[in-house]
Amino acid sequence: MKDFLRQNGILLVIIALLLTILIGVGTAFMGGNADPLSNVVNTVTSPIRNGIAAAADWAEGVYNYVFRYGQIQEELDSLRAQVAELEDQVREGQEAAKQNERLRELLDLQAKREDFVFESARVTGRSTDNWASTLTISKGTSAGVEAGDCVVTSTGVLVGVVSKVGLNWSTVSTIINTDIEIGGIVTRTYSAGVLEGDFALMGQGRLKLSYLPHSAQLVSGDEVLTSGKGDVYPSGLVVGQVEGIFTDPSGMTRYAVVVPDADLSSLVEVFVIKDFDIQE
């Protein structure tokens, strides 16, 4: 083979040069169409070139993943931090809106009852047993709240009475709790009685207006307010509506079953009446 190359090397070079020239001239004269030899060469080598290009793309992707992973992770961490910051801003905005709404409700309530001194509070807990109906609120002695203070909704509807007080919390016995006794009056007939919780009715979300006179002509839907009798609790607080009237088992008195106007199961914000003027 070496002898062959020594003897014919110059000839082979000349042949290669001639082939190159012929391919170039043929391409020029064929107006851009590939000559047969170029076509064969490109057809054979095209899959190889494509494979090399695909391998190069894959290698570039692997390189970017390996060497840019830290940068990508930093960008993701930065985006997560921005999202968390935006979520905090949204929560702060929502809380500010709620605070403004509470202040507006307090001002509206104060305008309706200028004889009351109110303290707003959030409901932070509810009784979870069947033996009592109580709420826990976010204000206590540090805000001037005392046991015996009435608690109402933003529209002035009676929720209950503060029964226990801590430094920054209080327990409220709702109006259907069995330890409640408040003077009540029916606005249509001026029939007076005592609003009190009843264990059997508590499970139904009701209370009683007891000790009504036999002459009381009540009908379903009559409005019941606090009477203020005894000057312990303020008068004129909306309690609820009469659902029905019944005779006591003793036969001596009558009582009405009252449906509270306050939705005790969904309260979020309440107002404590810390002081009030006695209505003569």
Could you tell me if 180 and 196 are in contact, meaning their C-beta atoms sit under 8 angstroms apart?
A: yes
Outline where DSSP puts E strands in 96-237: 116-126, 134-137, 150-152, 158-165, 170-174, 181-186, 192-196, 207-212, 223-226
Which one-letter amino acid corresponds to residue 53? Answer: A
Distance CA 178, CA 210 (A): 13
Q: Which domains does the chain have, with CATH numbers?
A: 2-61 (no CATH), 116-276 (2.40.10.350)
Which one-letter amino acid corresponds to residue 139? Answer: K
Query: How high does pLDDT run on average in the chain?
Result: 81
Q: Can you give the C-alpha Rg of the chain in angstroms?
A: 44
Global confidence as pTM: 0.64
For 101-117, b/e burial (b = at least 16 CB within 10 A) is: ebeebbeebeeebeebe
**At 121, phi and psi to the nearest 5?**
-155, 155
pLDDT in tens, 96-130: 777 677 677 767 777 777 888 999 999 999 986 77
pLDDT in tens, 227-264: 988 778 999 999 999 999 998 887 778 999 999 999 99
